[in-house]
Amino acid sequence: MKKFTDFKSFNNFIGVDEPIDEDIDVGRYPENTLLKSDGIYIDFYRISFKTNYINPDSPNFDHTDPKPITAVFFNSPGKLYEWGLDDLFEGFYLQLSKKIIEDNRYLFQNFLEYGYHEALFLNEEEEKEIVLLYENLMQKANNKNTGQDVLLAYVNLILNLVESFYKRQFSTEAKKYNYIVSEFQQLLRDYYDGRTKGVPSVHYFAEKMKLTPNYLGDVLKTFTHKSAIETIHEHITHEAKKLLLESKLTNSEIAFELGFDYPNYFAKLFKKQTQLTPKQYRIKQRALNNG
């Protein structure tokens, strides 16, 4: 499995220009861009804007009427990346090193770690805005007198635009995203019906749903106004309350029943959610029920 740790070797592999810089690289896809590749890994971030793009792996792809799309795709360190296209496409790419993100944390956005199948689909006006920014960034990047602070400003603007366009996509395709929310909530309800394998995590549900944790979390936050982990903790607390009131299990036994390795972690979470320890909650509720 090939792994690319720098822009130069990756650019050479896919057939695009030499990188402009080792931390920020921007360019246009040429006609000879590599159309097929087995799985590879890259050790940096890529934002690909593609037009006239026919992607058979797209969720909305229709084999009987393969219309080209305009979309933004993401690749990030540690994720497997493979592709197999039959047709040429146009567009731009932006590559950012891990170092530039670490040194400028304001640049990081959750969508940078979205999967390739969690693309942003642009409308005509959004496409014009993105094209203009990419072209301006390319012009600045190819000017040796341009300071890195100017390039970072353009990069930040592109990322902020992408974030706003995702919000538009979430809001205009509510039916699609409500299904994701419903599936997550059902999986959460079903979690304790089977054999418990630890405390439920965002990663567990994302894997079940074939989504990235960041994408799942952003969808849930948009439609429920709560983070994925907040929703999970609320559900754990709900299950704990039932066990405290309907069983004779000790606090430690309830903790293990809910997948905690250490009872004190369970007690800490429960108190954070209810402002009471498990013992205090049980005593208070029984007193209310008997009163």
- Give the CATH fold of the 2-172 domain: Jelly Rolls (2.60.120)
Q: Which pLDDT tens digit goes with each residue over 125-135?
A: 999 999 999 99
pLDDT tier, 58 (very low <50, low <70, confident <90, very high otherwise): low
Q: Check if the beta carbon of residue 278 is closer than 8 Å to that of residue 254.
A: yes
- Residue 285 CA to residue 241 CA, distance in Å, equals 10
- pTM score, two decimals? 0.88
Length of the chain: 291
Nearest residue to 71 via CA among 166, 164, 136, 153: 166
CA distance 21 to 96: 10
Q: What is the pLDDT of residues 157-214, one digit of tens each?
A: 999 999 999 999 999 988 889 999 999 999 999 999 877 689 999 999 999 999 999 9
Which CATH superfamily, name and number, covers 176-290? Answer: Homeodomain-like (1.10.10.60)
The domains of the chain are located at: 2-172, 176-290
The burial class, CB within 10 Å (0-12 / 13-18 / 19+), for 278 is buried
Q: Give dist(CA 211, CA 233) in Å, integer.
A: 20
Q: Give the pLDDT band (50/70/90) at residue 108.
A: very high
Cα 119–chain centre separation: 10
Closest CA to 159 of 191, 202, 113: 113
